[in-house]
A and B are shown apart, each in its own frame.
Chain A
Amino acid sequence: MHALTPTRLSLALAAAGVAVIALLAAPQGLEAQGMEDDNPAVLWSMRGEELWATPVGPKQATLEDCDLGLGPGVLHGAYAQLPRYFEDSGKVEDLESRIVTCRMTLQGMSREQAEAGHFSATGEDSDMEAVVTYVVEQSQGIPMNAPSDHPAEQAAYAMGKEFFYFRSGPHDFGCVTCHSQDGLRIRLQALPNLAKPGGAAETYPSWPAYRVSQGTVRSMQHRLSDCLRQQRLPPVAYNSDLLIALTSYLAQESKGAPITAPGLKR
Protein backbone atom coordinates (compact mmCIF):
# COMPACT_ATOMS: atom_id res chain seq x y z
CA MET A 1 0.00 0.00 0.00
CA HIS A 2 2.77 2.44 0.78
CA ALA A 3 5.45 3.48 -1.69
CA LEU A 4 8.67 5.22 -0.98
CA THR A 5 7.73 8.63 -2.36
CA PRO A 6 7.39 11.49 0.11
CA THR A 7 3.72 11.73 -0.80
CA ARG A 8 3.10 8.13 0.14
CA LEU A 9 5.29 8.39 3.18
CA SER A 10 3.29 11.27 4.57
CA LEU A 11 0.06 9.45 3.83
CA ALA A 12 1.34 6.38 5.59
CA LEU A 13 2.44 8.38 8.59
CA ALA A 14 -0.81 10.28 8.66
CA ALA A 15 -2.71 7.02 8.70
CA ALA A 16 -0.63 6.06 11.72
CA GLY A 17 -1.54 9.35 13.39
CA VAL A 18 1.98 10.78 13.27
CA ALA A 19 2.59 14.50 12.79
CA VAL A 20 3.71 15.09 9.22
CA ILE A 21 4.06 18.86 8.98
CA ALA A 22 7.69 18.85 7.85
CA LEU A 23 7.21 16.05 5.36
CA LEU A 24 4.34 17.84 3.69
CA ALA A 25 6.74 20.37 2.25
CA ALA A 26 8.09 17.72 -0.09
CA PRO A 27 5.02 16.91 -2.18
CA GLN A 28 4.19 20.60 -2.53
CA GLY A 29 7.71 21.14 -3.85
CA LEU A 30 7.12 18.33 -6.30
CA GLU A 31 3.95 19.94 -7.55
CA ALA A 32 5.73 23.19 -8.16
CA GLN A 33 8.38 21.50 -10.27
CA GLY A 34 6.00 19.73 -12.62
CA MET A 35 6.39 16.16 -13.73
CA GLU A 36 9.09 14.45 -11.72
CA ASP A 37 10.71 11.16 -12.59
CA ASP A 38 8.56 9.35 -10.07
CA ASN A 39 5.21 10.69 -11.29
CA PRO A 40 3.22 7.71 -12.63
CA ALA A 41 1.34 10.17 -14.90
CA VAL A 42 4.07 9.49 -17.45
CA LEU A 43 2.55 6.02 -17.92
CA TRP A 44 -0.76 7.69 -18.82
CA SER A 45 1.00 10.00 -21.23
CA MET A 46 2.71 7.04 -22.95
CA ARG A 47 -0.64 5.33 -23.41
CA GLY A 48 -2.21 8.60 -24.55
CA GLU A 49 0.44 9.04 -27.23
CA GLU A 50 -0.40 5.60 -28.57
CA LEU A 51 -4.17 6.23 -28.45
CA TRP A 52 -3.73 9.56 -30.25
CA ALA A 53 -2.28 7.76 -33.28
CA THR A 54 -4.56 4.70 -33.24
CA PRO A 55 -7.32 4.60 -35.88
CA VAL A 56 -10.73 3.95 -34.23
CA GLY A 57 -14.43 4.68 -34.70
CA PRO A 58 -16.69 4.30 -37.75
CA LYS A 59 -14.22 6.30 -39.87
CA GLN A 60 -11.19 4.34 -38.61
CA ALA A 61 -9.30 7.62 -38.20
CA THR A 62 -6.71 8.77 -35.66
CA LEU A 63 -6.78 12.00 -33.64
CA GLU A 64 -3.63 13.25 -35.34
CA ASP A 65 -5.52 15.88 -37.35
CA CYS A 66 -7.42 17.17 -34.32
CA ASP A 67 -7.33 20.97 -34.19
CA LEU A 68 -6.94 22.07 -30.57
CA GLY A 69 -6.93 25.72 -31.57
CA LEU A 70 -3.47 26.18 -33.07
CA GLY A 71 -4.18 24.22 -36.26
CA PRO A 72 -4.71 20.55 -37.13
CA GLY A 73 -2.22 18.32 -35.32
CA VAL A 74 -0.48 21.13 -33.41
CA LEU A 75 -0.11 20.00 -29.82
CA HIS A 76 2.82 22.07 -28.60
CA GLY A 77 1.39 24.93 -26.53
CA ALA A 78 -2.22 24.13 -27.43
CA TYR A 79 -3.31 23.40 -23.85
CA ALA A 80 -2.03 26.81 -22.70
CA GLN A 81 -4.65 28.44 -24.94
CA LEU A 82 -7.68 26.45 -23.83
CA PRO A 83 -10.59 26.82 -23.28
CA ARG A 84 -11.22 28.86 -26.41
CA TYR A 85 -13.98 29.56 -28.91
CA PHE A 86 -14.00 27.29 -31.97
CA GLU A 87 -15.59 28.48 -35.21
CA ASP A 88 -16.37 24.95 -36.42
CA SER A 89 -18.41 23.93 -33.39
CA GLY A 90 -19.58 27.46 -32.54
CA LYS A 91 -18.74 26.81 -28.89
CA VAL A 92 -16.18 27.49 -26.21
CA GLU A 93 -14.43 24.18 -25.60
CA ASP A 94 -11.93 22.98 -23.04
CA LEU A 95 -9.49 20.19 -23.83
CA GLU A 96 -11.87 17.39 -22.92
CA SER A 97 -14.86 18.70 -24.88
CA ARG A 98 -12.57 19.48 -27.82
CA ILE A 99 -11.28 15.91 -27.91
CA VAL A 100 -14.90 14.73 -27.89
CA THR A 101 -15.59 17.06 -30.86
CA CYS A 102 -12.60 15.60 -32.73
CA ARG A 103 -13.73 12.06 -31.98
CA MET A 104 -17.14 12.93 -33.45
CA THR A 105 -15.94 14.82 -36.53
CA LEU A 106 -12.73 12.94 -37.40
CA GLN A 107 -13.50 9.47 -36.11
CA GLY A 108 -17.25 9.55 -36.78
CA MET A 109 -18.32 8.59 -33.25
CA SER A 110 -21.63 9.53 -31.67
CA ARG A 111 -21.42 11.82 -28.64
CA GLU A 112 -22.19 8.87 -26.44
CA GLN A 113 -19.31 6.83 -27.89
CA ALA A 114 -16.94 9.79 -27.78
CA GLU A 115 -17.67 10.50 -24.11
CA ALA A 116 -17.70 6.86 -22.96
CA GLY A 117 -15.41 6.10 -20.03
CA HIS A 118 -14.31 9.71 -19.58
CA PHE A 119 -13.45 9.09 -15.91
CA SER A 120 -11.76 5.83 -14.97
CA ALA A 121 -13.32 3.48 -12.44
CA THR A 122 -11.63 0.70 -10.47
CA GLY A 123 -10.32 -1.80 -12.97
CA GLU A 124 -11.41 0.29 -15.96
CA ASP A 125 -8.84 2.61 -17.50
CA SER A 126 -10.06 5.77 -19.19
CA ASP A 127 -8.78 6.60 -22.66
CA MET A 128 -9.72 10.24 -22.06
CA GLU A 129 -7.50 10.48 -18.97
CA ALA A 130 -4.57 9.08 -20.98
CA VAL A 131 -5.10 11.28 -24.05
CA VAL A 132 -5.53 14.40 -21.92
CA THR A 133 -2.29 13.65 -20.05
CA TYR A 134 -0.42 13.24 -23.34
CA VAL A 135 -1.74 16.49 -24.82
CA VAL A 136 -1.14 18.54 -21.68
CA GLU A 137 2.42 17.28 -21.41
CA GLN A 138 3.16 18.97 -24.76
CA SER A 139 2.59 22.35 -23.07
CA GLN A 140 4.79 21.84 -20.02
CA GLY A 141 6.55 25.05 -19.01
CA ILE A 142 4.48 27.21 -21.37
CA PRO A 143 2.64 30.10 -19.65
CA MET A 144 -1.16 29.89 -19.55
CA ASN A 145 -2.71 32.19 -22.11
CA ALA A 146 -6.37 31.26 -22.50
CA PRO A 147 -7.87 33.76 -24.95
CA SER A 148 -10.55 36.23 -23.85
CA ASP A 149 -11.14 38.22 -27.05
CA HIS A 150 -14.23 36.44 -28.32
CA PRO A 151 -17.54 37.42 -26.71
CA ALA A 152 -18.27 33.72 -26.08
CA GLU A 153 -14.99 33.38 -24.16
CA GLN A 154 -15.90 36.45 -22.11
CA ALA A 155 -19.37 35.07 -21.46
CA ALA A 156 -17.95 31.72 -20.30
CA TYR A 157 -15.57 33.52 -17.93
CA ALA A 158 -18.40 35.67 -16.56
CA MET A 159 -20.64 32.64 -16.00
CA GLY A 160 -17.83 30.74 -14.28
CA LYS A 161 -17.06 33.68 -12.05
CA GLU A 162 -20.69 34.21 -11.15
CA PHE A 163 -21.08 30.55 -10.28
CA PHE A 164 -17.90 30.58 -8.21
CA TYR A 165 -19.50 33.13 -5.85
CA PHE A 166 -23.08 31.81 -6.15
CA ARG A 167 -24.25 29.91 -3.10
CA SER A 168 -26.72 27.08 -3.58
CA GLY A 169 -27.61 23.55 -2.56
CA PRO A 170 -28.75 22.08 0.77
CA HIS A 171 -25.80 23.65 2.66
CA ASP A 172 -25.97 26.98 0.83
CA PHE A 173 -22.36 26.52 -0.33
CA GLY A 174 -20.55 28.19 -3.19
CA CYS A 175 -17.05 27.41 -4.41
CA VAL A 176 -16.15 30.52 -2.46
CA THR A 177 -17.27 28.90 0.82
CA CYS A 178 -14.40 26.41 0.72
CA HIS A 179 -11.90 28.27 -1.45
CA SER A 180 -11.51 31.83 -0.13
CA GLN A 181 -9.07 31.55 2.76
CA ASP A 182 -5.31 31.08 2.85
CA GLY A 183 -3.52 28.20 4.53
CA LEU A 184 -6.46 25.87 4.99
CA ARG A 185 -6.41 22.16 4.40
CA ILE A 186 -8.82 19.27 4.64
CA ARG A 187 -7.16 16.24 6.13
CA LEU A 188 -3.86 16.23 4.22
CA GLN A 189 -5.05 18.09 1.15
CA ALA A 190 -4.33 21.79 0.78
CA LEU A 191 -7.47 23.82 0.14
CA PRO A 192 -6.43 26.53 -2.30
CA ASN A 193 -7.66 30.10 -1.98
CA LEU A 194 -9.11 30.61 -5.44
CA ALA A 195 -10.80 33.91 -4.62
CA LYS A 196 -7.65 36.02 -4.26
CA PRO A 197 -5.84 37.42 -7.31
CA GLY A 198 -3.36 34.81 -8.52
CA GLY A 199 -5.02 32.07 -6.49
CA ALA A 200 -6.10 30.00 -9.47
CA ALA A 201 -2.64 30.37 -11.02
CA GLU A 202 -1.20 28.42 -8.10
CA THR A 203 -3.24 25.32 -8.81
CA TYR A 204 -4.98 25.30 -12.23
CA PRO A 205 -1.75 24.78 -14.25
CA SER A 206 -0.99 21.62 -12.24
CA TRP A 207 -4.10 19.80 -13.55
CA PRO A 208 -4.62 17.12 -14.78
CA ALA A 209 -2.79 15.34 -11.97
CA TYR A 210 -1.93 11.86 -10.79
CA ARG A 211 -3.83 11.27 -7.56
CA VAL A 212 -1.90 8.94 -5.29
CA SER A 213 -5.06 8.25 -3.28
CA GLN A 214 -6.93 7.18 -6.42
CA GLY A 215 -4.07 5.59 -8.33
CA THR A 216 -4.97 7.37 -11.54
CA VAL A 217 -4.69 10.64 -13.42
CA ARG A 218 -7.69 12.89 -12.90
CA SER A 219 -8.73 15.60 -15.35
CA MET A 220 -9.88 19.14 -14.59
CA GLN A 221 -13.50 18.19 -15.26
CA HIS A 222 -13.20 15.37 -12.75
CA ARG A 223 -11.76 17.76 -10.14
CA LEU A 224 -14.60 20.24 -10.66
CA SER A 225 -17.30 17.54 -10.72
CA ASP A 226 -15.97 16.25 -7.41
CA CYS A 227 -16.08 19.74 -5.88
CA LEU A 228 -19.67 20.16 -7.07
CA ARG A 229 -20.46 16.85 -5.38
CA GLN A 230 -18.82 18.12 -2.19
CA GLN A 231 -21.02 21.18 -2.58
CA ARG A 232 -23.94 18.66 -2.45
CA LEU A 233 -25.22 19.64 -5.89
CA PRO A 234 -26.81 17.10 -8.25
CA PRO A 235 -24.34 15.48 -10.69
CA VAL A 236 -23.42 17.79 -13.58
CA ALA A 237 -23.12 16.44 -17.10
CA TYR A 238 -19.68 15.88 -18.62
CA ASN A 239 -18.74 18.79 -20.91
CA SER A 240 -21.73 20.78 -19.65
CA ASP A 241 -21.76 24.56 -20.09
CA LEU A 242 -21.21 24.90 -16.34
CA LEU A 243 -17.99 22.85 -16.30
CA ILE A 244 -16.66 24.69 -19.36
CA ALA A 245 -17.53 28.04 -17.76
CA LEU A 246 -15.78 27.20 -14.47
CA THR A 247 -12.75 25.96 -16.41
CA SER A 248 -12.71 29.14 -18.52
CA TYR A 249 -12.82 31.25 -15.36
CA LEU A 250 -9.94 29.40 -13.68
CA ALA A 251 -7.89 29.23 -16.91
CA GLN A 252 -8.21 32.94 -17.69
CA GLU A 253 -7.43 33.79 -14.05
CA SER A 254 -4.21 31.76 -14.44
CA LYS A 255 -2.82 33.88 -17.28
CA GLY A 256 0.98 33.88 -17.32
CA ALA A 257 1.46 30.93 -14.97
CA PRO A 258 3.62 28.19 -16.54
CA ILE A 259 1.97 24.80 -16.98
CA THR A 260 3.40 22.23 -14.57
CA ALA A 261 0.85 19.50 -15.33
CA PRO A 262 0.59 16.57 -15.17
CA GLY A 263 0.81 17.22 -11.44
CA LEU A 264 1.27 14.79 -8.57
CA LYS A 265 -1.21 15.09 -5.72
CA ARG A 266 -2.44 13.14 -2.74
Chain B
Amino acid sequence: MGSPMRIRAASDGEMIEVKVLMRHEMETGRRKGPDGELVPALYINAVTADYEGKRVFNGHWGPAVSKNPFLSFRFKGAAGGKVTVTWTDISGDTRTDEATVS
Protein backbone atom coordinates (compact mmCIF):
# COMPACT_ATOMS: atom_id res chain seq x y z
CA MET B 1 0.00 0.00 0.00
CA GLY B 2 2.71 2.49 0.99
CA SER B 3 2.30 6.09 2.16
CA PRO B 4 1.16 8.82 -0.23
CA MET B 5 3.73 10.39 -2.54
CA ARG B 6 4.08 14.09 -2.93
CA ILE B 7 3.94 14.98 -6.63
CA ARG B 8 4.41 18.48 -7.99
CA ALA B 9 4.08 19.05 -11.73
CA ALA B 10 4.37 22.41 -13.45
CA SER B 11 4.64 23.50 -17.08
CA ASP B 12 6.37 26.60 -18.40
CA GLY B 13 4.28 26.27 -21.59
CA GLU B 14 6.79 24.06 -23.31
CA MET B 15 8.22 21.61 -20.79
CA ILE B 16 6.63 19.96 -17.78
CA GLU B 17 8.81 19.51 -14.72
CA VAL B 18 7.73 16.76 -12.33
CA LYS B 19 9.07 16.46 -8.79
CA VAL B 20 8.21 13.43 -6.70
CA LEU B 21 8.96 12.53 -3.08
CA MET B 22 8.33 8.94 -2.00
CA ARG B 23 8.15 7.49 1.50
CA HIS B 24 10.14 4.27 1.49
CA GLU B 25 12.75 2.67 3.73
CA MET B 26 14.86 1.56 0.75
CA GLU B 27 16.59 -1.17 2.79
CA THR B 28 19.73 -2.22 0.96
CA GLY B 29 19.96 -5.68 2.49
CA ARG B 30 23.45 -4.84 3.73
CA ARG B 31 22.57 -3.04 6.94
CA LYS B 32 22.65 -4.83 10.30
CA GLY B 33 19.83 -4.32 12.78
CA PRO B 34 20.22 -3.93 16.57
CA ASP B 35 20.23 -7.74 16.88
CA GLY B 36 23.33 -7.97 14.65
CA GLU B 37 21.37 -9.69 11.88
CA LEU B 38 21.18 -8.33 8.34
CA VAL B 39 17.97 -6.38 7.68
CA PRO B 40 16.39 -7.97 4.58
CA ALA B 41 16.51 -5.94 1.37
CA LEU B 42 13.36 -3.98 0.58
CA TYR B 43 13.64 -1.25 -2.02
CA ILE B 44 11.71 0.24 -4.90
CA ASN B 45 12.90 -1.37 -8.14
CA ALA B 46 10.41 0.02 -10.65
CA VAL B 47 9.11 3.56 -11.15
CA THR B 48 6.87 4.63 -13.99
CA ALA B 49 5.11 7.87 -14.87
CA ASP B 50 2.27 8.39 -17.34
CA TYR B 51 0.97 11.64 -18.76
CA GLU B 52 -2.51 11.48 -20.22
CA GLY B 53 -2.20 7.74 -20.72
CA LYS B 54 1.23 7.90 -22.32
CA ARG B 55 4.37 6.52 -20.63
CA VAL B 56 6.81 9.38 -20.06
CA PHE B 57 9.16 7.82 -17.50
CA ASN B 58 10.31 4.28 -16.90
CA GLY B 59 12.96 3.65 -14.25
CA HIS B 60 14.68 0.57 -12.92
CA TRP B 61 16.05 1.27 -9.47
CA GLY B 62 18.38 -0.58 -7.14
CA PRO B 63 19.49 -0.49 -3.50
CA ALA B 64 21.77 2.54 -4.08
CA VAL B 65 18.85 4.98 -4.07
CA SER B 66 18.34 6.81 -0.75
CA LYS B 67 15.62 6.32 1.83
CA ASN B 68 12.60 8.55 1.07
CA PRO B 69 13.74 9.16 -2.51
CA PHE B 70 13.34 12.35 -4.50
CA LEU B 71 12.84 12.09 -8.26
CA SER B 72 12.68 14.90 -10.79
CA PHE B 73 12.29 14.71 -14.59
CA ARG B 74 11.09 16.83 -17.52
CA PHE B 75 9.19 16.20 -20.72
CA LYS B 76 7.35 18.22 -23.34
CA GLY B 77 3.80 19.24 -22.43
CA ALA B 78 1.41 21.97 -21.32
CA ALA B 79 -0.59 22.56 -18.14
CA GLY B 80 -3.91 20.89 -17.38
CA GLY B 81 -3.13 17.20 -17.90
CA LYS B 82 -2.63 14.57 -15.22
CA VAL B 83 0.65 12.93 -14.31
CA THR B 84 0.38 9.50 -12.68
CA VAL B 85 3.38 8.02 -10.86
CA THR B 86 3.67 4.41 -9.71
CA TRP B 87 6.38 2.67 -7.73
CA THR B 88 6.74 -1.02 -7.02
CA ASP B 89 9.20 -2.53 -4.54
CA ILE B 90 10.84 -5.95 -4.59
CA SER B 91 8.16 -7.40 -2.27
CA GLY B 92 5.54 -6.46 -4.87
CA ASP B 93 4.12 -3.65 -2.75
CA THR B 94 3.04 -0.79 -4.98
CA ARG B 95 1.70 2.74 -4.76
CA THR B 96 0.16 5.07 -7.35
CA ASP B 97 -0.55 8.79 -6.98
CA GLU B 98 -1.40 11.52 -9.43
CA ALA B 99 -1.17 15.28 -9.80
CA THR B 100 -2.58 17.84 -12.22
CA VAL B 101 0.03 19.83 -14.11
CA SER B 102 -0.15 23.51 -13.14
Q: Are B65 and A3 in contact (CB under 8 A)?
A: yes
Q: Which residues between 21 and 53 of chain A lie within 8 Å of chain B, taking CB atoms?
A: 37-40, 42-43, 46-47
Residue of A nearest to B30 (CB): A1
> Is A215 part of the binding interface, using a Cβ–Cβ cutoff of 8 Å?
yes
> Is A8 part of the binding interface, using a Cβ–Cβ cutoff of 8 Å?
yes
> Is B66 part of the binding interface, using a Cβ–Cβ cutoff of 8 Å?
yes
Binary per-residue interface labels of chain B (58-91) against chain A in the complex, 1 for a CB within 8 Å, 0 otherwise: 0000011111111010000000000000000000
Main secondary structure of the interface of A (DSSP, over half): loop
Which residues from A are CB-within-8-Å of B68? 40, 43, 215
A123 to B19 alpha-carbon distance, docked (Å): 26
Chain B interface extent, by class: 20 to 34
> Is B55 part of the binding interface, using a Cβ–Cβ cutoff of 8 Å?
no
A227 to B8 alpha-carbon distance, docked (Å): 36
Which residues from A are CB-within-8-Å of B67? 215
Binary per-residue interface labels of chain A (108-140) against chain B in the complex, 1 for a CB within 8 Å, 0 otherwise: 000000000000001100000000000000000
Q: Are B64 and A1 in contact (CB under 8 A)?
A: yes
> Is A19 part of the binding interface, using a Cβ–Cβ cutoff of 8 Å?
no
A4 to B28 alpha-carbon distance, docked (Å): 16
Q: Are B72 and A46 in contact (CB under 8 A)?
A: no
> Is B3 part of the binding interface, using a Cβ–Cβ cutoff of 8 Å?
yes
| Shortest Cβ gap from B57 to chain A (Å) | 15
Main secondary structure of the interface of B (DSSP, over half): loop
Q: Are B19 and A1 in contact (CB under 8 A)?
A: no
Given contacts A3-B70, A5-B70, A215-B68, contact A43 B21 (CB under 8 A): yes
> Is A2 part of the binding interface, using a Cβ–Cβ cutoff of 8 Å?
yes
A39 to B64 alpha-carbon distance, docked (Å): 19
Q: Are A42 and B21 in contact (CB under 8 A)?
A: yes
Q: Are B63 and A38 in contact (CB under 8 A)?
A: no
Q: Are A8 and B66 in contact (CB under 8 A)?
A: yes
Which residues from B are CB-within-8-Å of A47? 3
Q: Are A2 and B3 in contact (CB under 8 A)?
A: no
Please pick, from A1, A3, A5, A42, the residue contacting B6 in the complex, using a CB distance under 8 A.
A42
Q: Are A37 and B23 in contact (CB under 8 A)?
A: no
| Shortest Cβ gap from B8 to chain A (Å) | 6
Of the candidates A1, A2, A4, A212, the one having the most CB atoms from chain B within 10 angstroms of its own CB is A1
| Shortest Cβ gap from B62 to chain A (Å) | 11
Residues of A within 8 A of B (CB): 1-5, 8, 37-40, 42-43, 46-47, 122-123, 212, 215
Residues of B within 8 A of A (CB): 3-4, 6, 8, 19, 21, 23, 25, 28, 33-34, 63-70, 72
